[in-house]
Amino acid sequence: MKKSMLFFCLLAVVLSARSADYVITNYGVLADSTTINTLKIQSIIDLASNQGGGTVVVPKGVFLSGALFFKPNTKLRLEEGGVLKGSDNITDYPLIPSRMEGKSIYYYAALVNAYHVNNFGISGPGTINGNGLKYWKYFWSYRDSMRRINKEATNLEVHRPRLLFIWGCNNVKILDVKLCNSGFWTTHLYQCNDVLIENCDIRSPFKPVKAPSTDGVDIDVCKRVTIRNCYISVNDDAVCIKGGKGPDAHQLAENGVVEDILVEDCTFGDSHGILTLGSECIHAKNITLRNCKSDSNCPILRMKMRPDTYQVYENITIENVTGKCGTIIEMRPWTQFFTMEGSTEKPYGIVRNISISNIKVQCNVFGEMLGNPMDQVLNISFENIEATAQKPELLTKYKDFKINKVSVNGKPLVLK
């Protein structure tokens, strides 16, 4: 009798789990890759939430949609061969309260949005495809037109949607999914805690048309984020630490620290930087990248120092990285869209407790650390590094370095 009761209890659990799956084709959604399914898919998300929660399932096929908003107790799963494809018409993405480039502003919704949805999840093995070609072409065309009249285009002037925007969510999991061809940033986490991104493939192209500003993962005012066993190659920064910008950014409640970030067992193709701090970042601490492979021409650690923003980058660890890169460490002033906003403040940056160890790479340049005039650099450690480099020196004006067992082209590292 007890065994029989146990069997029926287990069966009830299995049936309950199955009943919580909302397969979109069961609700009239068409997989013809040309019909906009936004309203129908959104109604399925709403239904799942209203019925106590469930997983919205994208089966095999290509399903075209504009912005979707996930609700409490809902998740997204893309089955093998299932593709959620973004509309390339910006009118399919409403202008709503959002967060872009270190500012809280109205901006266009992403393809997949989750606002204050704890335990939100996206799983594969299917694909979310931003279908960004039209946006990319227009961006380059617009930029070129501005340059012809001696003006510089900003990123926000060409209206483009992100692929994922997850705001104010705790316990988020993004697993086993392919994320590609975003119109703008690919994965944007804002004010989230306890996030796992694992076994994902995140890409945007460099040719035949470059996909501008398609950052792989933007971590913006978040705590405890792990990125594990992913492949990332995008036409901007692969993993980017954000958090706010501007002379008073450190005083605004909407901004804040990014801390306790782990990137491990990942492979990186071409990007602008494997791990980048900035260009909108006021405080990054306890950031670790370890056990990774690089096949790129970009920096492993890139630090953007804004002269219009108070910044602290501290307790950064890079260890066990192999392969090919542009440079091991790059720290430079970053003046893109510089503005003091009428302030008389004199912002500066503090970079301290940076440890880089157990590195074996082929690179173009060993490193460069040149910040703004008032920036402070303290306690930088290089240990057990074997590199070959066209430019074997570390170009720097700072002095607080600890160097142990570092060879470049078979010779000790030279500070220059």
Per-residue pLDDT tens for 391-402?
999 999 999 999
* pTM of the full structure: 0.95
pLDDT of residue 152: 87
Q: Which burial class, exposed, middle or buried, applies to 176 when counting CB atoms under 10 A from its CB (0-12, 13-18, 19+)?
A: middle
Question: How sure is the predictor about 175, in pLDDT bands with cuts at 50, 70 and 90?
Answer: very high
Which pLDDT tens digit goes with each residue over 280-298? 999 999 999 999 999 999 9
Q: Tell which residue, 181, 76, 68, has the closest CA to residue 115.
A: 68
Q: Which fold has domain 96-412?
A: Pectate Lyase C-like (2.160.20)
Which pLDDT tens digit goes with each residue over 381-391? 999 999 999 99
pLDDT of residue 4: 52
Contacts of 92 (CB under 8 A, 6+ apart): 36, 38, 65, 66, 67
Is the distance from CB of 313 to CB of 281 less than 8 angstroms?
Answer: yes
Check pLDDT > 80 for residue 134. Answer: yes
Give the tokens for residue 285. 């601490």
Check pLDDT > 80 for residue 7. Answer: no
Which pLDDT tens digit goes with each residue over 267-282? 999 999 999 999 999 9
pLDDT of residue 284: 98
Tell me the average pLDDT of the chain: 95
pLDDT of residue 16: 44
pLDDT of residue 361: 98
Question: How sure is the predictor about 1, in pLDDT bands with cuts at 50, 70 and 90?
Answer: very low
Contacts of 366 (CB under 8 A, 6+ apart): 327, 328, 387, 389, 391, 392, 393, 394, 408, 413
The stretch 335-354 carries a mean pLDDT of 93
Give residue limits of the domains in the chain: 96-412
